[in-house]
Amino acid sequence: MKIKEYLIPLGFVVISTWFVQNLVFYYTGNGVIAEEKVDIKAGQSFVAPKKEQLIKPLVTEIDFVDTEINCQKPPITVNTERAIVEFSSCGGAIAKFTVKNIAGIDQEQFTLFNIQQPQERERLAFLVALQDKTPLNYELTKQSYENGVHTLIFRAQSAAATIVKEFRLYDASYKLDLRLSVESHDAAGVQPRIFVPTPYLPSDPTDMVQALIFSDSNSLEKKKPEAVDGRLWVMPTLFGGEDRYFIDALVADSQNFVQRAYYKAQSIHQLAAILEGPTVKQQTSWEMSFYCGPKQLHEMAKVDSRLESTLDYGWLSPLSKLAMAILNFVYRYVHNYGIAIIILTLLMKLLLIPLTFRAERSAKKAVEMKKKLQYLEQKYKDDPETLQREKTELIRKNGLFDVGCFAMVAQLPIMLALNRALSTSIELYKAPFFGWIHDLSAVDSYYVLPALVGLGIFLHSGTAGDARQRLVTAFMALIVGGIMTNLAAGLVLFIGMSIWLSIAQSRLQKALHI
């Protein structure tokens, strides 16, 4: 099995995916198209929105009514089995959120956001803002723990409204519940908004944030910050953001608090989801649930199975899930994800031995058939009728269909599934292998693994054929090796092991005359 036989279909998949992703329209939840940035011409007509909520401007700024009296108070820290959460009386919101005890992760803690400076108060998580005169100072009225549930209640009062926020954090999952109660003191009513920042790992320079929206087509969409600027979604059922490994998103809204949702994009690393509620003139309460945790299948399934789509497994999802389950199972015994990847690759090769043997025999048969056809063409070059008759007889006896092609195509989904699983796996983040490789999710800083991949391709494919073919193979090995320098070390380790195991298998077959 030669690596170049994977590159053509893989390249076709990449090009097709790019084409689909870049030639689509942006649609909002419930089929509403958000306002486009267009050049308005004299006499141009537009379809007027039928609902008032679609034509109201997006409100991304906050006007605080009181001074920072409570902002100097020490934070209220809640330590659950899944996270360390620091609440601030300034805004009655979360100032610091640290995830811990992630299954299969050697690193103990991951701080997703940390707001410590007063000028950053608008970036607090689960901050509730009004259309104007937002209260800033909250009092903690209750803190309790019972049956694995941590409960905190904050209360703020101003001339415009009284706001009560009840947070519930769970030991058994990364779910966060928020019960919001708003009582208006203004005859015109007040309209609350909830700010939910996207997680971000400042220790990872390659980390970038994206918006998450469950669309009206019943699919989870990901969009870059620049793609959501100025857009709105009406009554979404899942709305929030993600980075490479973590998610902060609304997953349940039983009382339909969210009437509109949109984003405030500050940079490629800062994105906040804004959940806009209805205008209320009397005391009203809503219950909402959020997922604030890692992209791990078993953890996301506890809260909302729709989040599984964030792993981008696509149609290969069953194979990718199986691969990660095996990888985590092996890790429990070897305690090293690099070794676990090697063992997983070896198991894959053993499983595919019947197919690879069949492919090798088919390749040999194709070479022999080609030589025989060339011989016949040379022998009967002056007798076309005899040549055609001999070719037909040769094909009838030996067959022409290359059954090895099916064998190689059958292996492609397995390799792609493993590639996808390793590319999105949080288990590899900061996971050491040996020597200089301290993080399997980062690139190999010394380029040893990419060099081994390029060398393996050349040895596996470059020793046969004429000088021209060997030169082409050497060039391809350099190109692929260069591409590998930009991929995670864990992924390159898997690709390299696949190639070198194929070399070992070929050498063994030749030695045993198989």
Tell me the pLDDT tens digit for each residue of 219-259. Answer: 899 999 989 988 999 999 999 999 989 999 999 999 999 99
Please name which of 200, 216, 251 lies closest in space to residue 97, comparing C-alpha atoms: 200
Lowest mean pLDDT of 48-57, 122-131, 483-492, name the range: 48-57
Region label for 129, one of left (φ > 0), alpha (ψ between -120 and 50) or beta (otherwise): beta
Looking at residues 413-428, what average pLDDT do you find?
A: 79
**114: three-class secondary structure by DSSP:** strand
Instruction: For residue 48, give the DSSP letter.
Output: P
Residue 87: count other Cβ atoms within 10 Å of its Cβ: 25
pTM of the shown model: 0.78
**pLDDT above 90 covers what percent of the chain?**
37
Contacts of 450 (CB under 8 A, 6+ apart): 444, 481, 482, 484, 485, 487, 492
Residue 206: count other Cβ atoms within 10 Å of its Cβ: 11
The band of 16, judged by pLDDT with boundaries at 50, 70 and 90, is: very low
Give the whole-angstrom CA distance, residue 337 versus residue 106: 10
Ranked by mean pLDDT, the top range of 226-235, 284-293, 358-367 is: 284-293
Domain 56-311 is in which class? mainly beta
298 versus 66: the higher-pLDDT residue is: 298
Looking at residues 458-468, what average pLDDT do you find?
A: 67
Tens of pLDDT along 126-165? 999 998 789 989 999 999 999 999 999 999 998 899 999 9
Given the DSSP bridges, would you call strands 246-253 and 161-170 parallel, antiparallel or unpaired? unpaired
Looking at residues 70-97, what average pLDDT do you find?
A: 90
**The predicted structure's pLDDT at residue 338:** 92
Contacts of 141 (CB under 8 A, 6+ apart): 153, 154, 155
**The predicted structure's pLDDT at residue 166:** 97
The dihedral over CA atoms of 179, 184, 188, 193, expressed in degrees to the nearest 10, equals -30
Give the whole-angstrom CA distance, residue 455 versus residue 469: 16
- Contact call for residues 494 and 456 (beta carbons, < 8 A): no
- Contact call for residues 27 and 222 (beta carbons, < 8 A): no
In the chain, domain spans: 4-15+318-512, 56-311
- Contact call for residues 191 and 131 (beta carbons, < 8 A): yes
Lowest mean pLDDT of 51-60, 391-400, 450-459, name the range: 391-400
Give the whole-angstrom CA distance, residue 365 versus residue 370: 9
